[in-house]
Amino acid sequence: MKNLTTPAYILDNEILEKSINSIKDSLLFNFKKSILSYSLKTNSLPYILNKVMAVNGYAEVVSKDEYELARLIGFNIDKIVYNGPLKSKETFLEAIINGAIVNIETKAEIEWLEELPKEKIFNIGIRINVDLAIISPDDSKLDEDYSRFGFSVESGEFKEAIDKINMYENIKLNGLHAHRTTLTRSISAYDKICEYIGRIAKDYCLDLDYVDIGGGYYGIMDNKPTFNQYFSSIAKKLEIYFDLSKTTVIVEPGNAIVASCLDFISEVIDVKKIRNFHIVTIDGSRNDIDPFYKKNNYSYSLLLSHNTIKSCVNTQIVAGGTCLEYDKLFKIDNQQLLSVGDKIIFRSVGAYTMTLSPLFIRFFPNVYLFKNGKYSLIRKNWLAKDFFNIYDTKNL
């Protein structure tokens, strides 16, 4: 690891496979019919997508670009779950015609159904708005107690939407999508969501082939719910309303698969003293490991470049290599002063980091695969020429 070119992400193949297989095994144990659909937005690294595809998993995509990426990776259209408001009309229609699981998110999509061939019956799902302030206030985030996604039962728009869909003689509404990120990620939060959509399905006499519960689960972590605990409880709630020997349960994990299998390694490039503390600058950035800028602590370890014992100092502030004043990561108190060449390994940073990292000051870093005790480069860092070559330079 000392010889890796920094900054870089490190993908642990064993942990990735363990996460995928644990979810698959838990689904098979708890449901007669289920689908593991991996969320591309969480981390779209092709190596990860190929691992999901290898176990007959689906690709959960939320835009035209993600849809096309899934196709380039090799996912058949009928192994795609298509969600979100950024579908294009062309990919929306293509997906439905070729057997993808497509969940309506916008009113325009309902109008697009008119353009499907009339001589064949097509299946479609719809996303329901899950208002946690009503269903489970303890699980709602302070600034996100409502969701902006899906059609609201309470406002009447859910009924309007399904009434319009039912007007098409060649369209069957066969699925309900109910993904909702919760504050606690608790089992009880999923229980309440399952009860809610079960009651709605009953009230509106929906004949569903599938129920899509979405993602948001904890991964393989100590003192957190296991996949088996999540899915066992979900199954008990859903079977009150659905015949689970006929109704397929879809889950869309992202974080639960990739968060723990990716680390980030960065090297100290400068140490200076300001006032009565030291600033330790690394060649990585908070953008690489905390793109939401919400974390107040990190799981990390130090890899010292030499064995010389240096004196302890009161305070060290580890900061990123950008020109942003607020690119500060964490504080180290009463420990040995770090030196240029020392490395910091940030643990379990695979979720949303690579897909949300901006092209700010430094382009995309290396990605290494750790497999069978060896490191190999699976994505080379972008250089200026790589960025330059994506543009049509003839018109500059």
Predicted pLDDT at 215: 95
User: First and final CA of the chain: distance in angstroms?
Assistant: 42
Q: Which helix (H) or strand (E) holds 200?
A: helix 187-203
Q: What integer is the mean pLDDT of 122-130?
A: 97
Q: What integer is the mean pLDDT of 28-39?
A: 98
In tens, the pLDDT along 332-347 reads 999 999 999 999 999 9
Q: Supply 59's token pair.
A: 């690709």
Predicted pLDDT at 92: 98
Predicted pLDDT at 142: 63
Question: Comparing C-alpha atoms, which of 246, 235, 263, 250 is closest to residue 127?
Answer: 250
Report the predicted TM-score, pTM, of the whole model to 2 decimal places. 0.94
In tens, the pLDDT along 14-33 reads 999 999 999 999 999 999 99
Percent of the chain with pLDDT over 70: 98
Predicted pLDDT at 63: 98
Predicted pLDDT at 246: 97
Domains observed in the chain: 31-258 (3.20.20.10), 261-388 (2.40.37.10)
User: Computed from CA positions of residues 13, 14, 20, 21, in that sequence, does the dihedral angle turn out positive or negative?
Assistant: positive
Give 311 or 36, the one with higher predicted confidence: 36
Predicted pLDDT at 134: 87
For residue 181, pLDDT over 90 is answered with no
Averaged pLDDT of the chain: 94
Q: What integer is the mean pLDDT of 142-147?
A: 73
Q: Are 339 and 306 in contact (CB under 8 A)?
A: yes
pLDDT bucket at 296, cuts 50 / 70 / 90: confident
Cα 392 off chain centre by? 32
Residue the block writes with tokens 């490190």: 10
Residue 275 CB contacts under 8 Å (≥ 6 apart), including other chains? none
